[in-house]
Amino acid sequence: MNSETKIIDEKLQGTPFMVDSKNSTNKKLFLESYGCQMNFADSEIVASILMDKGYSTTDKFEDADVIFLNTCAIRENAELRVRNRLNDFKKAKKNNPKLLVGVLGCMAERLKSQFLEQEKLVDIVVGPDAYRDLPGLIEEAEDGHKAINVILSKEETYADLTPVRLGSNGVNAYISIMRGCDNMCSFCVVPFTRGRERSRDPESIVAEAKDLFEKGYREVTLLGQNVDSYLYTGGGLKKETLTEEQKASAVSFAQLLERVALIDPLLRVRYSTSHPKDMTDDVLEMVAKYHNICNYIHLPVQSGSSRILEMMNRGYTREWYLERMAAINRIIPGCGISTDIITGFCSETEEDHQQTISLMKSIQFDYAYMFSYSERPKTLAERKYPDDVTAEVKSRRLAEIVELQRTNSGIKTALGLGKVHEVLVEGFSKKSDDMLMGRNPQNTVVVFPKGNYKKGDYVNVMVTKCTTSTLIGEAV
Ligand code: SAH
Ligand code: SF4
Ligand code: F3S
């Protein structure tokens, strides 16, 4: 997963987007997204549904007829941020009593009608599987009713809808390949907010990627909570009950990767998130086989202690994870690796924490997203285990792993010195319009003088300098 665009609530949040409407009514939508890439991809579906109804978007909520927040519930902080943001809209609502405020996404799904009771300001509550119902729900709210649809679906994949690319640089795009999650990690709210896992028709995925390529995009990221578990069986058949024959005709994640890679060698393919318990060698071999499938894997470990992993219900041990890492290094030498780590999970001892530290030291991740455990209502952990690591201990342990990761990132980035990297240009560098920025396949940011190159070009860059996270060089 792409280190700057994997949008967990602590990173980027609250990004409003603007696009012009296809057919004009003068209704304006202000749409702000929180949470992970999947939520951002969902906002592109929401925009598509509403623009079909004549809405255009605005980046000033004061000008909007409808405000939607697409929310995240992964940690308590994520929810607090949304509640604070709702306060900002109070004055706008006073000035314009017709203004509608809606909450979409995971927090809407988690709180359901409670939201309407707790937050008087909110008129509309819509869960992740009910976006097709948005136009009708807006009409209901316009008639003065509180409108809600939080029904989760076993089939909905929005496969037939063409997302409206919001805030896009015209080079990278997300494609949602599956929805929901069946894993039930004990700390995680996602199975409750996104429902059962289902895979999207591969034909529609390939068609979407082709269309993007034809429009000039050069990189797609295939999204799912656990992409290794992707399996398209056609008639909505359950994975567990497939006959051998049905299994043979189903499309696996490795096969899907190949189909997307074959669209064009100039289309880079990324994917996220991989799950250590399901990541098989056939996926790794497919990555190795095609130059345009990036040598980069986001493989969340969560903890280095097998005892904690067991309590987390992750389905693997420390040894299993290390074996998967060895397989990556064997099949895709030089592969970029990032991870997610939760610190201070229920009953985590100093020794468990040291096991996470030692795992980080031995693997040396290129990048890591690190979080303090946040207890979530209804999860297995909330029901079964006391949240007994104190806030002080959580933050001290978090600081230790963040510090170690900073050192590791620096070491890993410096390994790129003196080498030529294939960079896909995404735009100007943050610091200067004389410099371009892009990424190498391992997902490290590379900056170089622009010369005659432009967005969407592939450029070979000889790296001569670096910071802890950025490579700097010149085109060769
Ligand atoms: N499907 C992905 C993760 C999605 S959530 C996977 O299985 O890896 C992204 C990350 O948020 C998780 O990997 C985890 O590290 C973190 N996370 C999830 N629930 C959390 C909680 N209750 N407290 C703290 N971090 C959490
Ligand atoms: Fe949550 Fe686990 Fe599913 Fe990831 S795999 S979304 S952590 S339940
Ligand atoms: Fe958050 Fe929902 Fe994504 S809880 S991390 S927006 S799946």
Average pLDDT over residues 3-7: 33
CA of 190 to the centre of ligand 2 (A): 6
Which of 55-64, 65-74, 234-243 has the lowest average pLDDT?
A: 234-243
Please indicate whether residue 192 or residue 237 has the higher confidence score (pLDDT): 192
Q: What is the pLDDT of residue 389?
A: 98
Q: What is the pLDDT of residue 239?
A: 76
Residue nearest to atom 1 of ligand 1 (CA): 225
Q: What is the pLDDT of residue 5?
A: 32
Taking CB atoms and a 6 Å cutoff, what residues make up the pocket around ligand 1? 74-75, 187-188, 190, 225-226, 273, 275, 300, 302, 340, 342, 371, 373-374, 376
Average pLDDT over residues 91-99: 91
- Cβ of 37 closer than 6 Å to ligand 3, yes or no, is no
CA of 9 to the centre of ligand 3 (A): 9
- pLDDT tens-digit readout, 112-168: 999 999 888 999 999 999 999 999 999 999 999 999 999 999 999 999 999 999 989
Q: Give which of 150, 67, 84 is closest to 111, Cα–Cα.
A: 150
| CA distance linking residue 364 with residue 317, whole number of Å | 18
Q: Could you count the other beta carbons within 10 Å of the beta carbon of residue 170?
A: 15
Edge-to-edge order in the sheet of strand 336-343: 296-298, 336-343, 367-372
DSSP for 79-129, written as a single string: HHHHHHHHHHTHHHHHH-TT-EEEEEHHHHHHHTTHHHHH-TT--EEE-TT
Q: Cβ(26)–Cβ(58) under 8 Å?
A: no
Q: Does the pLDDT of residue 12 top 50, yes or no?
A: no
CA of 191 to the centre of ligand 2 (A): 7
CA of 320 to the centre of ligand 1 (A): 19
What pTM was computed for the model? 0.94
Average predicted confidence (pLDDT) for the chain: 93
Tell me, what DSSP letter sits at residue 293? B
CA of 275 to the centre of ligand 2 (A): 9
Residue nearest to atom 7 of ligand 3 (CA): 190
Query: To test ligand 2's pocket by mutation, which of 179, 181, 228, 380 has the most ligand atoms within 8 angstroms of CB?
Result: 181
CA of 365 to the centre of ligand 2 (A): 20
Identity of the amino acid at 463: V
Domains and CATH numbers, the chain: 6-149 (3.40.50.12160), 172-414 (3.80.30.20), 420-475 (2.40.50.140)
At 199, is the secondary structure helix, strand, or coil? Answer: strand
Token readout for 76 is 């308590």
| CA distance linking residue 140 with residue 134, whole number of Å | 10
CA of 301 to the centre of ligand 1 (A): 10
Tell me, what DSSP letter sits at residue 239? G
Q: Does the pLDDT of residue 297 top 70, yes or no?
A: yes
Q: Cβ(20)–Cβ(55) under 8 Å?
A: no
Which of 14-18, 210-214, 250-254, 372-376 has the lowest average pLDDT?
A: 14-18
Average pLDDT over residues 79-102: 93
CA of 273 to the centre of ligand 2 (A): 10
Taking CB atoms and a 6 Å cutoff, what residues make up the pocket around ligand 2? 181, 183-185, 188, 190-191, 225-226, 275
- Cβ of 69 closer than 6 Å to ligand 3, yes or no, is no
Residue nearest to atom 2 of ligand 2 (CA): 185
CA of 104 to the centre of ligand 1 (A): 20
Q: Does the pLDDT of residue 2 top 50, yes or no?
A: no
Tokens 């290094």 correspond to what residue?
329
Q: What is the pLDDT of residue 318?
A: 98
Q: Does the pLDDT of residue 13 top 60, yes or no?
A: no
Q: Does the pLDDT of residue 23 top 60, yes or no?
A: no
pLDDT band at 8; cut points 50, 70, 90: very low
Percentage of the chain modeled with pLDDT above 90: 89
CA of 82 to the centre of ligand 3 (A): 13
pLDDT band at 247; cut points 50, 70, 90: confident
- pLDDT tens-digit readout, 26-41: 899 999 999 999 999 9
Query: To test ligand 1's pocket by mutation, which of 74, 197, 402 has the most ligand atoms within 8 angstroms of CB?
Result: 74
Q: What is the pLDDT of residue 433?
A: 94
- Cβ of 6 closer than 6 Å to ligand 3, yes or no, is no
Percentage of the chain modeled with pLDDT above 70: 94
- pLDDT tens-digit readout, 370-401: 999 999 999 999 999 999 999 999 999 999 99
Residue nearest to atom 19 of ligand 1 (CA): 188
Average pLDDT over residues 177-198: 97
- pLDDT tens-digit readout, 166-186: 989 999 999 999 999 999 999
pLDDT band at 248; cut points 50, 70, 90: confident
- Cβ of 36 closer than 6 Å to ligand 3, yes or no, is yes
Q: Which atom of ligand 2 is nearest to the CA of 181?
A: 3
Average pLDDT over residues 76-85: 95
Phi-psi sector, 344: left (phi>0), alpha (psi -120 to 50), beta: left
CA of 108 to the centre of ligand 3 (A): 11
- Cβ of 304 closer than 6 Å to ligand 3, yes or no, is no
Query: To test ligand 3's pocket by mutation, which of 36, 45, 369 has the most ligand atoms within 8 angstroms of CB?
Result: 36
Average pLDDT over residues 13-38: 77
Q: What is the pLDDT of residue 21?
A: 54
Q: What is the pLDDT of residue 236?
A: 66
Average pLDDT over residues 457-466: 98
CA of 467 to the centre of ligand 2 (A): 33
Q: Which atom of ligand 2 is nearest to the CA of 188?
A: 1
pLDDT band at 9; cut points 50, 70, 90: very low
